[in-house]
Amino acid sequence: MTSVAAHTSLVTLYEFRDAASRLSGIAVRTPLLRAEDVIDGETPVWVKPEMLQRGGAFKFRGAYNFLSRLDPADRAAGVIAPSSGNHAQAVALAARLFGAPATVVMPTSVTAAKRAGAERLGARVVLAGTTTQDRMERALELVSEEGGTLVPPYDDRTIIAGQGTVGLEIAEDLPEVGTVLVPVGGGGLSAGVAAAIKALVPRARLVGVEPSSAPKLSRARAAGAPVRLASTSGLADGLLAVEVGALNFAHHQEFLDDVVLVDDSLLVDSMRWLLDRLKIVAEPSGAITLAALRAGLVPAEGPTVAVLSGGNIEWSGLRALFGNA
């Protein structure tokens, strides 16, 4: 690993614990569920099912932490969030809890489940392009035109601190953890989980998992700095950012031991495995860490945890995927 921490202020254990305090009684403390016979029948494997989180994904942790720290007057003026889907729902829910108006900027290709979820939670939905850059640019335009506060999806220390509470819980519930697999999109969850676990269990091995069709972290690590991909595509729509955040990348370089790529062809089978064996509904992004384990892409060293990031997929989407599996 290449350390960039000397020039970057990384999120501290104090910030993760402060976020946990703010989320206490509000967010779900998701359990670790034992998953039998994932690898060899001997290595103990658990999953951390963030689809059981409010809003159906880990994103609520960061969104609520961010809004909780805003001045009440700023919250009342409204918040605006660019998102492929899960961040939008998280911000919509957090804003509703605080009684604040929310606008979310989503891609024109957004799934029906994710758009309906944001609207059901009271957000105004604006559609803009298909890339993370398209959404960010439109969100910034809305802030300029209408006022309000931008809620970044991942490249922000308050967001990272909120998402990192996933790592705090893993370290507290399984202090002997040896390996943790975490999905990589824009990098908020992977940065937070890696930093929090390394602070409490330094010997643990942290592995980022991203779609082979969106290798933004793999390319960044090879280059030594974030790299913007020309485009991304694939089933794991929550992980298709074209670039990891700069602050997130600093955490990745300091705390992630490895990053692996998973093909779309492996995702649906792992979604079905989770449904059949653990009775858990995962969206493709949410199943990617288990797919990496089951495919032997990550050697499990000691007790192993796969973070399942979310489950925002509608019935028709499941039928379409499973019908072709």
| Residue-wise pLDDT tens digits, 24-51 | 999 999 999 999 888 877 789 999 999 9
Catalytic member of 233, 270, 309, 316? 309
At 7, the pLDDT band (50, 70, 90 cuts) reads: very low
The strand pairing partners of 81, in sequence order, are 104
Both tokens of residue 238? Answer: 């929550």
Positive or negative: CA dihedral 315, 320, 324, 325:
negative
In this prediction, residue 324 carries a pLDDT of: 54
Q: Which string of b and e fits 300-312 if b means at least 16 CB within 10 Å?
A: beebbbbbbbbbb
In this prediction, residue 269 carries a pLDDT of: 95
Q: How many CB atoms lie within 10 A of CB 260?
A: 18
| Residue-wise pLDDT tens digits, 245-289 | 999 999 999 999 999 999 999 999 999 999 999 999 999 999 999
How far apart CA 193 and CA 308 sit, in angstroms, is 12
In this prediction, residue 6 carries a pLDDT of: 40
Query: Do 216 and 243 contact (CB within 8 A), yes or no?
Result: yes
In this prediction, residue 130 carries a pLDDT of: 87
Q: What secondary structure, in 3-state letters, does 201-230 show? A: CCCCEEEEEEECCCCHHHHHHHHCCCCCCC
| Residue-wise pLDDT tens digits, 108-146 | 988 888 899 999 999 999 999 988 888 999 999 999 999
pLDDT at 8 over 70: no
Q: In sequence order, what are the residues at sequence separation of 6 or more whose Cβ sits closer than 8 angstroms to the Cβ of residue 42?
A: none
In this prediction, residue 131 carries a pLDDT of: 84
Q: Which of 194, 156, 26, 38 is nearest to 97 (CA)?
A: 26
Question: What is the percent of the chain where pLDDT is above 90?
Answer: 82
In this prediction, residue 133 carries a pLDDT of: 84
In this prediction, residue 221 carries a pLDDT of: 97
- The pairing of strands 258-262 and 205-211 is parallel
Residue 24 a catalytic site member: no
Interior CA angle at 166 toward 259 and 215, to 5°?
25
Query: CB burial class (10 A; 0-12, 13-18, 19+) of residue 61?
Result: buried
How far apart CA 127 and CA 88 sit, in angstroms, is 12
In this prediction, residue 108 carries a pLDDT of: 93
Q: Which of 232, 243, 303, 307 is nearest to 39 (CA)?
A: 303
Residue 9 dihedral angles phi and psi, to the nearest 5°? -80, 110
Instruction: Give the range among 46-55, 74-83, 310-319 with minimum mean pLDDT.
Output: 310-319
The pTM for the full model equals 0.93
How far apart CA 124 and CA 324 sit, in angstroms, is 34
Q: How far is CA 62 from the centre of its chain?
A: 9
Residue 59 a catalytic site member: yes
Query: Do 209 and 259 contact (CB within 8 A), yes or no?
Result: yes
Residue in this structure with the two tokens 């495919």, named with its chain if needed = 295
Q: Which of 223, 232, 230, 220 is nearest to 285 (CA)?
A: 232
User: What domains appear along the chain, each with residue ranges and CATH number?
Assistant: 5-57+157-323 (3.40.50.1100), 59-150 (3.40.50.1100)
How far apart CA 76 and CA 78 sit, in angstroms, is 5
In this prediction, residue 191 carries a pLDDT of: 98
Residue in this structure with the two tokens 């700069």, named with its chain if needed = 246
In this prediction, residue 52 carries a pLDDT of: 97
Catalytic member of 48, 59, 114, 198? 59
pLDDT at 325 over 70: no
| Residue-wise pLDDT tens digits, 162-217 | 999 999 999 999 999 999 999 999 999 999 999 999 999 999 999 999 999 999 99
How far apart CA 238 and CA 312 sit, in angstroms, is 10
In this prediction, residue 150 carries a pLDDT of: 97
In this prediction, residue 217 carries a pLDDT of: 98
At 314, the pLDDT band (50, 70, 90 cuts) reads: confident
For the chain, the average pLDDT equals 93
Residue with the larger pLDDT of the pair 322 and 165: 165
